[in-house]
Chain A
Amino acid sequence: MIGLIASLIDGVLVGAVYGLAAMGLTLIWGVMNVINLTHGAMIVLGMFALYFSASALGLPPYGAVPVTIVIGFAVGVMVYWIAVHRVIGRPHLMSLLSTFAMNMVLIGLGTAVFSTSPYNVPVALPGIAWRGYTFTGTHVVAAALALLIAGLLYLLLHRTRIGKAIRAVAANREAAELNGIPTTQVLSFAFGLGVALAAVSGALIATLFPFNVLSGGAYELKSFVVTVLGAMGNPAGALMGGVALGLIEGAATPFMPVSWTPVIEFVLFVAVLISFPRGLFAFTRS
């Protein structure tokens, strides 16, 4: 029983980071109806941004997190203008293909420059011991930062002019345009914000586990599962979906081989799509 509780707590800690990663994906979907297939590559961008900020610039790992947000935002705005701007409002297949192609370019460039060898950001923090189990300090800090950033996102969306503009464009772009909101710039900002969230989640993941250029794929898949769990287009739902996914992983692993976890996750993915097409936490959509 103690082991199960420890596993659930670990699951929640990692789930908060999954939720942060998915918030970026779901924000972009909610605002502009685009499924961003560069999401995995942007998570990897955050991992490498943290790695090089810590190693090349000598920044402490957590001190480099704001740098990662800035880099992610800048790259996101650039990707918007290159791959997304012209396909907004077009059939979904066009945005899927456009972002998929961009993803291939980014992964290809990353592989050419960094190869597929593993990288590691060593972070030593004391853990919290409990009844023979230890919750590592890095997990606790990553979860705390994920919640903090989610809170800041909420404040941005609900307490600032740009946030109000983003929500207006998400609700009805034409009406927002008629009210004088420069919707194209808002979309660009929102995409940059979504990518920044993906990048910062990558940075936090890099403090937990080793990574390589191809690591984004697994977290991108988890982001899709979380987005479906949490209600598509709903950042708050995404955070709760991430925690829910972490809880499911934590509940399952004590009772079955760890390698079965992805099977459980994707069975759940299909089940929720069929039973709750709007997401488990659709009631939280603002």
Chain B
Amino acid sequence: MTIPRLMLIAAAALATCSHTCAADDTLTIGFTVSRTGKLNTESTAQMRGFELWRDEVNVRGGIAAGDKRYKVSFVSYDDESAHPRVQQLYTRIINQDKAQFLFSPYSSGLVATAAIVSEQHGRIMLTTGAAEEKTYKLGNKNLFQVYSSADLYLAGAIQVVKELYSKAEPALVYKDDPLSKAVLQSARKQVAEAGLRTALDEAYSPETTDFGPIINKVISAKADVLLGGGHYSDGATLARQLHDHGARLKWVTLLVAPDSPNFATLGDAAVGISVPSQWEPQVSFKPDFGPTAAEFTQRFQAEYAIEPGYHAAAGYAAGLLLQHAIEEAGTLDQIKVADVLNKMDVTTMFGRTKFSTNPREHGLQIGHEMVLAQWQKKDGKLVKEVIWPKAAKTADILY
């Protein structure tokens, strides 16, 4: 593009913009991204959600706080999917980069580490990618959880299994990490309450790449359902190896991994696998502000040429919620913005958001509900459909 043409476009933009469009100042939001390491897939999706929101806000002239408008600027670093790096980097983001607000890294484990630093410095942090409840039960004041918490993850899948296979014997096979352990702690109780007998209950190391021994144990235990998994890297490998080993399970629900669009690369190994999802593009919430799910999906696809999963949607929603809180507070003051977040009960493209104000679990998400999605083949193509709850479904259950 030639310089004269660039200048013409810039002049046109300025001419069509009222005097309030130009930002007066900059608002810095800091976070880490797992650009390398096992959490790369999910973290990148989350970051894209942040960035799409930032770009849209800045095109409209920034966030309005009182008489001023603030352009949103990010400061982010690669945490390498590692706890020590998260600790170092959030300290740097707050002390050296002077970020005024924080988004979380991806994953319950890394968020728990980041939360220690953010609370020490009294910075508001909106957490996405962090469903484990324990982090919010340690007496925080400035954490705000966007996701539904871990105890809800497998509730839908267990209900479906009970309806379809009343005598099912599930194998609980899950990654030894904070999210998966928290999810399965609740799932055990839910399986027992559903009257199902657990055939196998086993955690695997996060470094596991050979699931053959565990799959053999699932077969030996005569389990006919498998619930568990972890994140994308191990979940996708487990799904592929279940298929290769011909495990012949009637039902498989895995955490996180099947929600990623990349999961479709597994081909036939993906068919029938379900995932508890924080959000799907087909949801039809009527938002109080911001775009609808369909509009967000369209914009995300236009930008990144890929359909968004819930990691990206949650990243975008975190931006929307923070923006709304700052605009309602009319200031960047942490206490006033936190006050607005505490009182918030709104619906966005992500669904309902309401944060607990109980000091024992401050910031825990108590408004948002999850859905269960499943990979199905339609006209030879793999698509992800919402199968539960019945009110939200876009396709019948494949079983």
Binding site for B on A (CB under 8 A): 2-3, 6-7, 10, 14, 111, 115-118, 120, 127, 129, 132-134, 136, 138-139, 208-211, 215, 218, 249-250, 253-254, 257-259, 261
- A249 to B36 Cα, complex, angstroms: 31
Q: A127-B246, A136-B244 given. 20 additional CB < 8 A pairs?
A: A6-B219, A10-B212, A10-B216, A111-B36, A116-B37, A116-B38, A116-B80, A117-B38, A118-B38, A133-B216, A134-B246, A138-B244, A139-B212, A208-B210, A209-B209, A211-B209, A218-B207, A254-B216, A258-B204, A258-B213
**Would you call the interface of chain A mostly helix, strand, loop, or mixed?**
mixed
In contact, A133 and B40 (Cβ under 8 angstroms): no
- A118 to B219 Cα, complex, angstroms: 28
- A66 to B209 Cα, complex, angstroms: 25
* The 9 nearest A-B residue pairs measured at CB: A3-B220, A209-B209, A115-B36, A253-B213, A134-B246, A117-B40, A136-B244, A134-B245, A116-B36
A258-B202 contact in complex given A118-B38, A209-B237, A211-B209, C-beta closer than 8 Å: yes
Q: Provide a sorted-by-A list of 17 A–B residue pairs whose CB atoms are within 8 angstroms.
A: A3-B220, A7-B213, A115-B35, A115-B36, A116-B36, A129-B246, A134-B246, A138-B244, A209-B210, A209-B237, A210-B209, A210-B233, A253-B213, A253-B216, A254-B220, A258-B202, A261-B213
In contact, B216 and A7 (Cβ under 8 angstroms): yes
1/0 per position for B208-237, CB-CB distance to A under 8 A? 111011101101100000000000010001
A215: B residues at CB distance < 8 A? 209
- A210 to B235 Cα, complex, angstroms: 12
Q: How many residues of B contact A (CB 8 A)?
A: 30
B313 to chain A, nearest CB (A): 23
A216 to chain B, nearest CB (A): 12
In contact, B245 and A136 (Cβ under 8 angstroms): yes
- A284 to B389 Cα, complex, angstroms: 64
A218 closest partner in B (C-beta) = B207
- A254 to B200 Cα, complex, angstroms: 11
A255 closest partner in B (C-beta) = B217
A159 to chain B, nearest CB (A): 35
B38: A residues at CB distance < 8 A? 116-118
Inter-chain CB contacts under 8 Å: number = 83
B202: A residues at CB distance < 8 A? 257-258
B40: A residues at CB distance < 8 A? 115, 117-118
Indicate which residue in A10, A111, A115, A208 contacts B213 across the interface (CB closer than 8 Å).
Answer: A10
Indicate which residue in B219, B237, B245 contacts A127 across the interface (CB closer than 8 Å).
Answer: B245
B219: A residues at CB distance < 8 A? 3, 6, 132-133
A118-B246 contact in complex given A3-B220, A133-B219, C-beta closer than 8 Å: no
B176: A residues at CB distance < 8 A? 259
B306 to chain A, nearest CB (A): 17
B173 closest partner in A (C-beta) = A258
Count chain B CB atoms within 10 A of each CB in A2, A6, A133, A208 and give the residue with the most.
A133
A253: B residues at CB distance < 8 A? 213-214, 216-217
A210-B213 contact in complex given A132-B219, A136-B245, C-beta closer than 8 Å: no
In contact, B203 and A257 (Cβ under 8 angstroms): yes
B244: A residues at CB distance < 8 A? 127, 134, 136, 138
A258-B245 contact in complex given A10-B213, A115-B35, A117-B40, C-beta closer than 8 Å: no
A2: B residues at CB distance < 8 A? 220
A259-B204 contact in complex given A3-B220, A115-B36, A117-B37, C-beta closer than 8 Å: yes
1/0 per position for B15-53, CB-CB distance to A under 8 A? 000000000000000000001111010000000000000
- A211 to B38 Cα, complex, angstroms: 10
